[in-house]
Amino acid sequence: MTTTLARSFQSARTEFKEFSIPELKKFEDLFKKYNTSGTGFLDLAELKYLMEQLQAPQTHLALKDKMGEAAIKGQRWWATPLVAAAAVVGNNRAWFVQFAGLLLLAEAVLNALIIRFVPYTEIDWVAYMEEVGGVLDGERDYSQLKGCTGPLVYPGGFVWIYSALHYLDGRRHRHQARATPVWAVVLLCLSKRIHSIFGLRLFNDCWAMFFMYAAILALLNRRLSLATLLYSFGVSVKMNLLLFLPGFGLILAMEEGILRNIPRALLFFAVQAAGWQVGLGWPFLAHDWRAYMNGAFDLGRVFTHTWTKKKRRK
């Protein structure tokens, strides 16, 4: 029979040198309270198993998070907002999901108020709707697709996303509408520019960067195929994401073996990314591939600086 922590502090100290005896007592008191072992206390074997499941056998912070998760289960529902707010001050990561969820709810309310009360200034939405309107009316010649600001200059992914928004809008132009500390999530809600771009105007940068961030997350998890597809979809919304290509390609090459397998890495990227681009732009490529390539991927395109949202040159 396994000896419990309460009866074998010396062996516990030997097994888990990172923790002091008072800490071990605190851990056992917590597990007694929530009866996680089914017997009212946690024995050494169970503690060892728990830490192995956390994939950090000697990680103090991981065990503290597990303690916090157990504490969450004992809270009343009405206390959740108060405890979550207190967790921000203490940087208790066990409350990260709950706190982020409360902020997401607050963001939904805030965006509804912004759309309802902040005066709308038209920049690109009408042009977007006019550009995809031609596609929805059956036009497949890319050179004939245009809006009030000029010809359509974005690839196929942009067309399909804003076609869906065009459909959801009823074809009407409406202008209403783990290392990171817990408190850092608040910063996502404080930017006027973010609310302007994502909530009030819905620029195509929102969708392009959404897929770019998703691709970065996939890279962090070493899911190269998924990362490549997500990156390619982002490029299909806005060509600006080609600026990420050198770094993206370098990461793929490093993952595949930077000197030994560069040709393989390049082939891997070309087959998946290019194949995805062909699929998204196929209706336009099949009709007139030159018009599509010249319009959607015109690297020599010059923008009128008077439309910029950044500081204007004199």
What secondary structure does DSSP assign to the chain, as a single string?
-PPBGGG-HHHHHHH-TTS-HHHHHHHHHHHHHHTTTSSSS-BHHHHHHHHHHTT-TT-HHHHHHHHHHHHHHTS-GGGHHHHHHHHHHHT-GGGHHHHHHHHHHHHHHHHHHHHHHSPP--SSHHHHHHHHHHHHTT---GGG-EETTEE--S-HHHHHHHHHHHHHTTT--------S-GGGGGGGGS-HHHIIIIIII--HHHHHHHHHHHHHHHHHTT-HHHHHHHHHHHHHH-GGGGGGHHHHHHHHHHHH-TTTSHHHHHHHHIIIIIHHHHHHHHHHHHHHHHHHHHHHT-TT----GGG-SSPPP-
Q: Are residues 98 and 19 in the same domain?
A: no
Last residue of a domain, one of 92, 117, 142: 117
Q: Are residues 92 and 163 in the same domain?
A: no
pLDDT digits (tens, 9 = 90+) for 262-291: 666 566 666 666 777 777 788 888 888 788
Q: Are residues 145 and 284 in the same domain?
A: yes
Q: Which has the closest alpha carbon to 147: 155, 157, 135?
A: 135
Q: 266 pairs with which residues across the strands?
A: none
Q: Are residues 217 and 275 in the same domain?
A: yes
Contact yes or no for 227/265 (Cβ under 8 A):
no
Domain annotation covers residue 313: no
Domain annotation covers residue 133: yes
Quote the number of domains for the chain: 3
Domain annotation covers residue 306: no
- List the Cα angle 123/129/132 in 5-degree steps: 130
Last residue of a domain, one of 74, 106, 132: 74
**CATH number, domain with residue 10:** 1.10.238.10
Domain annotation covers residue 303: no
Q: Are residues 70 and 83 in the same domain?
A: no
Q: Which domain holds residue 39?
A: 1-74
Instruction: Give the amino acid at 107.
Output: E
pLDDT digits (tens, 9 = 90+) for 50-100: 555 545 444 444 455 555 554 444 454 444 555 556 555 556 666 677 778
Let me know how long the chain is: 314
Render each residue's pLDDT in the chain as its tens digit; 314 residues. Answer: 333 443 333 444 445 555 566 666 666 665 555 444 454 444 555 555 555 554 544 444 445 555 555 444 445 444 455 555 655 555 666 667 777 888 888 888 888 888 888 887 777 888 888 888 888 888 888 878 888 878 887 888 888 888 888 877 654 444 443 556 677 777 778 878 888 878 788 788 888 889 999 999 998 888 888 888 888 888 888 888 888 888 888 887 777 665 555 666 566 666 666 777 777 788 888 888 788 777 777 666 655 545 555 555 54
Q: Are residues 21 and 129 in the same domain?
A: no
Q: Are residues 37 and 169 in the same domain?
A: no
Q: Are residues 67 and 197 in the same domain?
A: no
Domain annotation covers residue 255: yes
Q: Are residues 57 and 146 in the same domain?
A: no
Q: 43 pairs with which residues across the strands?
A: 4
Last residue of a domain, one of 60, 92, 117: 117
Distance CA 206, CA 212 (A): 10
